[in-house]
Amino acid sequence: MREDTRRWIEADKKHCWHPFTPQGIWEQGDPLVLTRGEGAWLWDSEGRKYLDGNSSIWTNIHGHHQPALDAAITRQLAAVAHTSYLGFANPLASELAERLCGLFPGGTLERVFFSDDGSTAIECAMKMAIQYRQQTGEPERIGFIAFEQAYHGDTMGAASLGGVARFHERFRKHGTPVTFVTGIEALRHLPSEAIRQSCAVVIEPLIQGVNEMRPWPKGMLCELRAWCDAHEVHLILDEVMTGFGRTGKMFACHHEEVIPDFLCVAKGLTGGYMPMAATLTTGEVYDAFLGPAENAFYYGHSYTANPLGCAVALASLEVFETERTLEKLEPKISLLAELLGDLKHPAVKAVRQCGFVAGIELAEGLGTKACLAMREHGLLTRPIRDTVVLMLPLCTTEEEIRMAVSAIGEALARVTA
């Protein structure tokens, strides 16, 4: 092991605290130290090369070191890295808000509130939904409806919506009141009192990510929109994972032509380059915050609408158009489905796919072992429980897709030998 690698690992174990990581287990081995990337590939400090099998935790869209995105940040850095958005504007935030709203029909999602990550995008939507009710004569509607096994982030409000006990149960009593349902039928059978006290329903459209990549039934989102309209409950869509092409369209809700009252995006917003998020909402919601000062939405972040983030987000949207990303993605999604369908192994319990997102559920106890073995075959990813996540950057070639699925098969053969 190189001297600098050893030094970085020792400093990490002495001082760092990693997310979603049992630190006692972490300290027992030597982690990979990732140092650079190019396209769909990453390199560690020892010079080993890996295909980025989960898009660096579901963020990277067009690949690492993408020329257009690199250039956008460099241009903006030559002007200014950051300016306050509290009482000021900046050109790229104005342009980005306009572009994001333009991805939906006119007169629908018309306003954009920028924040830092997926949790804060959800937090904004929750606070907006509650304050909207307070300012439109329904202050009693402070609860939310969410789905079991959902994950919507880790700030206290967003964590309240989480249906995964391992992550959220210890904090549940400290958060917002939430009614959990299993699906659309359970929603239809909720007591009327629970509905009257709820201001919004929150869902990851088309597929639940942290719930081991489980797709919703086709048409469910349309039914949910109709239910919300019938009961005058707002619909919040968490497209933090599914947004920006992951499901084959720009947003998952486009598959069923559903327009939410709040749309939350992050991760892929900047192509995986910068921490940035946005909460889109309607003109009707926005108008309820006009008037006297006490009606204002008193919420924000120091780095709201950061110019570097806005610059690279605009560049990412431009790449979608110039490189016809979504058009080129269609055959890749078909190839992925074909290859996963041929992944025959006794350890594979189920394969779930939604667009370019896939989860390969393995026999109990094999998830982590298989992912560690995949490294030896050039694939880097991590499991959710025993489900291996395969969420490649959209720029991944067909040859690289074949290599990724082959690495999974080879790793399974090794760990079950």
pLDDT at 167 over 80: no
Q: What is the pLDDT of residue 26?
A: 77
Average of per-residue pLDDT values in the chain? 96
Q: Which residues of the chain does CATH 3.40.640.10 include?
A: 68-322
Phi and psi at residue 138, to the nearest 5°: -130, 55
- Counting residues of the chain whose pLDDT is more than 70, the rounded percentage is 100
**Cα–Cα dist 43/34, whole Å:** 6
pLDDT tens by residue, 304-353: 999 999 999 999 999 999 999 999 999 999 999 999 999 989 999 999 99
Q: What end-to-end distance do the CA atoms of the chain give, in Å? A: 29
Q: What is the pLDDT of residue 417?
A: 86
Mean pLDDT of the region 71-94? 98
pLDDT tens by residue, 267-311: 999 999 999 999 999 999 999 999 999 999 999 999 999 999 999
Q: Which residues of the chain does CATH 3.90.1150.10 include?
A: 32-62+324-415
Architecture (CATH level 2) of domain 68-322:
3-Layer(aba) Sandwich (3.40)
pLDDT tens by residue, 28-43: 789 999 999 999 999 9
- What is the rounded (10 degree) CA torsion for 9, 12, 14, 19? -140
Q: What is the pLDDT of residue 75?
A: 98
178-181 and 143-147 strand pairing? parallel
pLDDT-derived band at 1 (thresholds 50, 70, 90) equals: confident
Q: What is the pLDDT of residue 335?
A: 98
Domain 32-62+324-415: CATH superfamily is Aspartate Aminotransferase, domain 1 (3.90.1150.10)
Paired with 277 in beta bridges are 115
**Higher-scoring residue by pLDDT: 328, 27:** 328
**Cα–Cα dist 53/374, whole Å:** 10
pLDDT at 174 over 90: no
DSSP letter at 294?
A: G
Helix (H) or strand (E) holding 149: none
**Cα–Cα dist 129/141, whole Å:** 9
